[in-house]
């Protein structure tokens, strides 16, 4: 892993070379085979991840043991940071959909980086904040869609579906 590799990811494209070199120096590249669990819902956060290669599926275990897929992550996605920020348990599981390569930032290094009064610490927190805002906007959009569906009556559905079937 080099600074140039990180620069190729949208979240880090504006970072100065020195900052990228520091990140490369404190992170490690970890590989997971397809089907492997990267993060388990309910566990304490040990690390945050940047997806370098492959696809990750995010799923949540519901009461009763059923699982629902929340989404998929692709190259450049940052995940696992929320539990490190708030000290809480992981809200969902992340599974390698394909063979996956991630950049792993240990929790202790993540904490030091975020608490540092340095431009790198501020830049890294902005990357995390932007990711959280994108996630929140997506969640709000899904909630609005579901709320709209919940207000439809059977007659509304029948007329909509009926018209499209003709």
Q: What residues pair up with 92 in beta bridges, in sequence order?
A: none
pLDDT tens, residue by residue, 113-131: 888 888 999 999 999 999 8
Topology of the domain covering 26-151: Jelly Rolls (2.60.120)
> What single string gives the DSSP state of each residue in 8-34?
TSGGGTTS-HHHHHHHHHH-EEEEE-T
CA 143, distance to chain mean position in Å, is 19
pLDDT at site 106: 93
CA separation for the pair 83, 28 (Å, rounded): 19
Q: What is the CA radius of gyration of the chain?
A: 19
Given a contact cutoff of 8 angstroms between Cβ atoms, the answer to whether 105 and 27 are in contact is yes
Domain ranges of the chain: 26-151
In angstroms, the Cα distances linking 26 to 9, 21, 32 are: 17, 9, 20
> What single string gives the DSSP state of each residue in 52-93?
EES-EEEEEEPTTS-EEEEEEE-TT-EESHHHHHH--B-SSE
Digits of tens for pLDDT over the chain (166 positions)? 889 999 999 999 999 999 999 999 999 999 999 999 999 999 999 999 999 999 999 999 998 889 999 889 999 999 999 888 888 899 999 999 999 999 999 999 988 888 888 899 999 999 999 988 988 888 888 888 888 765 556 565 554 444 434 3
Model-wide pTM > 0.85: no
């Amino acid at each position: 892993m080099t600074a140039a590799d990180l620069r190729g990811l949208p979240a880090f494209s504006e970072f100065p070379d020195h900052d990228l070199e520091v990140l490369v120096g404190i992170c490690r590249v970890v590989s997971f085979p397809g089907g492997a669990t990267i993060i388990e819902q309910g566990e304490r956060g040990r690390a945050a991840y940047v997806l370098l290669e492959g696809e990750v599926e995010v799923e949540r275990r519901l009461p009763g043991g059923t699982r629902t897929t929340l989404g998929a992550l692709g190259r450049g996605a940052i995940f696992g940071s929320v539990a490190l920020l708030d000290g809480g348990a992981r809200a969902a599981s992340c599974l390698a959909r394909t063979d996956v390569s991630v950049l792993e930032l240990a929790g202790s290094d993540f904490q030091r980086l975020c608490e540092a009064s340095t431009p790198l610490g501020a830049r890294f927190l902005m990357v995390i904040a932007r990711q959280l805002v994108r996630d929140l906007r997506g969640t709000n959009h899904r909630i609005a869609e579901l709320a709209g569906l919940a207000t439809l009556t059977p007659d509304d559905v029948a007329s909509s579906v009926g018209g499209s079937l003709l």
